[in-house]
Each structure stands twice: as C-alpha cells, then as structure tokens.
Structure 1
Amino acid sequence: MKLKNGISFALATAVMVMVPSIASADIKKGQKYYLKDCKKCHGNGVKGAAMLDQDEWDDMFANDGEEIIAVHEDSENKKAIKYFHSKRFKKHAPHLRDFLYEYGADSGKVPSCG
C-alpha cells in the first residue's frame, strides 16, 4: 500500500510541475513576435521592453490587453490598430507580455539579441 501511495504522490507531483510550464507563455516566442510585429515602430527588443517597467507591462496586458490596445488606437498607424484587434494578437499577447515583462526597464536584464 505504501508503494502505491508513493507512486501516486510522485505522479501527482510530476503533473503539478509539468502543467504550469506547458500552460505558461514563452519568452522566446514573445521576442520573435515582438521583432516581427513591433520592432518597426518601437525599435529592437532592448529598446522596446525598456519603455516600461514590469508593473507597467502587467497593467498594459491586463484585461486581455485593454490598455495596450487603447494606446495603439490613439495612434494613426492603421496597421497596428488592425493587429491589436486580430486573433493573431490574442494568440501572441501572452508571449509578448512575458517577453516585455521579463526585460522591462526595472528587470536588470537585457534580451540576448534583437
């Protein structure tokens, strides 16, 4: 019985450790999306991520990116406005948020390239 409980505990622990990593966003994907969709207006990843600190990036992406969408709607860049209302942005947003947060102005970190 002890062996069975030990195996169950080990399996449950393994699942708990693996699930958050599967469900979480990917910083490298975020960097890739940033370079593809944001670099033209906001500069390389170092410059773009350093525009705001980590708390400000959290605020920008809260409520499905409500604030970052509003900021870009105030711009005259029609391409950006279209992007922020697309399914693609909804898919990219968690990754972009994690990339920008990871390298925010107060993080003390610099992205490796871009």
Structure 2
Amino acid sequence: MKKQTSILLASLVALGMFATSANADIKKGQKAYLKQCKKCHGNGTKGAAMKTQDEWEEAFEDNGAVFKEWHKGTKAEKYANGKKFEKSAADLKDFLYEYGSDSGNVPSCG
C-alpha cells in the first residue's frame, strides 16, 4: 500500500510540473504579443480573437509563412521576418491558438 501511495504522489508531482511548463509557453507568447502586437491589434483578447484556432494553426505552419504574408507591407513586416519572431513564434502561436475566437478562452490581463 505504501508503494502505491508513493507512486501516486510522484505521478501527481510530475503531472503538476508538466502542467506548469506547458502553461509557460502561453505566458511567454502573451508577453511577446503585448510587446510586439498590441500597438496595432489591441489587447490580447481582441488580437487572439481575430482568427479561429485552425486559422492560427495554419498561420504558423512553414515557419509562419501565412503570418508573414498578413504583415507584408505593414510596420510589423520587419518583426515578422526577423530573429525576434523566429525566437518567439512557437510561444506566440500557443498564446494566439489558446485564445482564438472559437476557443471559449479569454486571457487575463491583456
């Protein structure tokens, strides 16, 4: 009985650690959004809701080809084609996908 309890407890701790690290990407994406996107697209609630989850998924395929196309000829073109975007793209995608218009989720604080 003691061994089963230990295994259960270890599993819960491991699951808790996984949940925290999975959520960290969304938080990093929110920070990237607030820093790079908010000035044109508004707060995170408004910006993420511009597209559905499937549209956000598609936008970030092939190194963000669709995302880059959307920003061609805008003030954000330099960001979309630069190293900052490459570095934050996965986190930004996680944030935008998590709060897409069809997700039913609403980000807190921006």
Q: What TM-score results when the alignment is normalised by the length of structure 2? A: 0.78
How far off is 1:84 after superposition? 1.0
Aligned to 1:72: 71
Structure 2, gaps ≥5 residues long: 1-13
Aligned to 1:48: 47
How far off is 1:24 after superposition? 9.2
Aligned to 2:99: 103
Q: Which amino acid aligns with 2:74?
A: E
Counterparts of residues 81-92 of structure 1 (less than 5 Å): 81-92=77-88
Counterparts of residues 2-81 of structure 1 (less than 5 Å): 26-73=25-72, 75-77=73-75, 80-81=76-77
Q: Is the 8 A contact 1:25 1:98 kept in 2?
A: no
Moved beyond 4 Å, runs of 4+ = 21-25
Structure 1, gaps ≥5 residues long: 1-13
Give the number of aligned pairs.
97
Aligned to 1:7: none
SS of equivalent to 1:99: helix
Q: What TM-score results when the alignment is normalised by the length of structure 1? A: 0.75
Structure with max Cα Rg: 1
Matched-pair identity in %: 61
The whole-number CA distance in structure 1 between the counterparts of 2:24 and 2:82 is 19
The whole-number CA distance in structure 1 between the counterparts of 2:31 and 2:37 is 10
Q: Is the 8 A contact 1:25 1:94 kept in 2?
A: no
Q: Is the 8 A contact 1:59 1:67 kept in 2?
A: yes
